[in-house]
A and B are shown apart, each in its own frame.
Chain A
Amino acid sequence: MPESTQIHEALGVFDKTTSRWGRITMIIGLFFSLAAPAYLVFFSGLDIELSGIFAAFAALAAVFGVIWIVEPLTYYPILGASSMYQAFMIGNISNKLLPAAMIAQSTIGVKPGTRKGELASVAAICGAAAVHLTSLFIFVGLLGTWLVSVIPADIVQTVQLYILPTVMGAVLIQAIVSQKSPRAAVIALVVSLIVVFVLSPLSPKMALFSTAIAVISTAVLAWVLRDRQKTEVAERAAEETPPEGPVY
């Protein structure tokens, strides 16, 4: 079918462009982010021992090492391949980029995990990046030093301490409504309750992996316990629609 070849080609071009330029821009970003400390360590005249840096890095790796690998694994199914290179450079993924992608998908009525959903999330993350870069540039870069002197300390403290629960409360409701899958929501609730109130208190190490454990178990259980009738209908429909996966 010529039409499906055309779709294939268009998606192939999109995948190639985003993976090539996503990687190139991320490597350049990586370079700039490492150049700053490299300058301080090697050229600024400060006495910073390399052995001290290794020790600090080892201490970090002990705490975060597994997260470095688990986080990309956790966000991949939600973001899709193309957005991965955006998300891990722009940062603040769970509190800013995931909500942005989800709201965009539900505004135009597409699902995560589909190619339309992927394009919507790419565009949404671009929009979020535009807003974020602008507000950082103006309020932190240009006005930051002045603002720090006028914003009352207790307001800054409230925001710092409680921003995560305020974002998550609202975003969770939006996610449940937009997914229209009460079954998955109930599974997520039960799994998260167990992870937060039973597993995490057992050891602090466990708490670090709570997001990954909950996300992976919810995904697996939602798949095992899926509404088979509904997904079978969707499956048959999917065979007739354009390829949803990466096409090369």
Chain B
Amino acid sequence: MYLAAAVDNNSTDILAVANSPFLWACAIGVFLVIVIQSVIYMKAAQVAAPHIGMTHQEIKTSFRAGAISALGPSLAVVLVAIALLTVFGTPAVLVRIGLIGSVSYETAAAAIAANSAGAELGGPTYTQAVFGLALAAMSLGGAMWMIATLILTPLLKRGDSALRKVNPAIMLVVPGAAMVGAFMVLGLGELPKSWIHVVAFGSSAVIMTVLMIIAKRVDRPWIKEWALGIAIILSLVITHLATRV
């Protein structure tokens, strides 16, 4: 087999297997599937929009707002992904860290898997076989999320329809409150970790508040769209300076 020369269970040359063409093909496959899904979804949204009193322009604006606000978080993911390239190789980083999962979950999953085999990520015990095991565990773990989504979404949808019929006001209150609750607990959960986390969270919140006030004063909607990226970059700079104190 074409990999045979590079494959060696005990070799710590992870990248020889991690960057193999088959893994690249799978990563490109996941990319393409998401592209196709997005195209189908955009079309469906555009077809449905006029019927519920939304203009095509509003759909386009939503697309653009989503794209711009993803810039900051996306570049952050990119930076972390680059940092992990030597540990997992490019295709696995693209699929596991960049897409499907998230940095914290996937790295934790890989570490747990390596530990279960008595090895550690990145050390002398991190052989090609351990990499294979870690990738299998990350992928199976990620698969569980997708399977849960595939099973639960139709069930929830049925419950959702029933709920809306009984009491339409519930959907005016619950989704918004759930969203604020999610960000609140994720944000406050960072605070006990260290004083630098407090600086990161606080500076970002203050910068955003200032940007929102400016956006309101001068009535420029683009500020709202770019605000997240600006706040993330500025507060990362402040946080980076704080780590050097």
Contact = CB atoms under 8 A, between A and B. Distances in A.
A119 B185 contact: no
Given A57-B141, A160-B83, A104 B74 contact: no
A64 B66 contact: no
A130 interface: yes
Given A140-B94, A222-B173, A239-B168, A89 B99 contact: yes
Contacts of A179: 176-177, 179-180
- Chain A, interface size category, equals 35 or more
Interface in B98-150: 98-105, 108-109, 112-113, 115-117, 128-129, 131-150
A210 B74 contact: no
Contacts of B209: 173
Contacts of B102: 91-95
Secondary structure of the B contact surface, majority rule: helix
Contacts of B45: 14, 119, 122-123, 126
A167 B139 contact: no
B179 A246 contact: no
Contacts, number: 626
Contacts of B212: 173-174, 177
Count chain B CB atoms within 10 A of each CB in A72, A126, A246 and give the residue with the most. Answer: A126
Interface string B26-45: 11011101111110111011
Interface in B37-55: 37-38, 40-42, 44-45, 47-49, 51-54
Given A32-B26, A55-B116, A158-B243, A96 B83 contact: no
A72 B144 CA distance: 11
Nearest to A83: B41
Interface in A92-110: 92-108
Contacts of B115: 59
A135 B79 contact: no
